[in-house]
Amino acid sequence: MISLFDHYGHKDDGKTASMVNAYARLKNQPYQKRLLEFNNTTVFTYTKEFLAEFDAVRKIMTLGQ
């Protein structure tokens, strides 16, 4: 299970996390929460396979934009 930061290599733009979370709920995708002790923030983590699937779907959905 990895966070979006670990997957993309940068801080979320404010939109991606919401889309990933909505897609995970739609697909009944399990996720975990991880506490970042250095700043006391909780992040969601997902499987690498799920994030790869999300990226593929996002790419298809944004082809015409």
Question: What distance in Å separates the CA atoms of residue 7 and residue 47, rounded to the nearest whole number?
Answer: 10
pLDDT, position 13 = 81
> pTM of this prediction?
0.85
pLDDT, position 28 = 96
pLDDT, position 62 = 85
pLDDT, position 12 = 86
Averages of pLDDT over each 10 residues, the chain, 65 residues: 94 89 95 93 95 95 74
Residue 53's Cβ-count burial label (10 Å; 0-12, 13-18, 19+) is: middle
Question: What distance in Å separates the CA atoms of residue 53 and residue 38, rounded to the nearest whole number?
Answer: 30
pLDDT, position 65 = 59
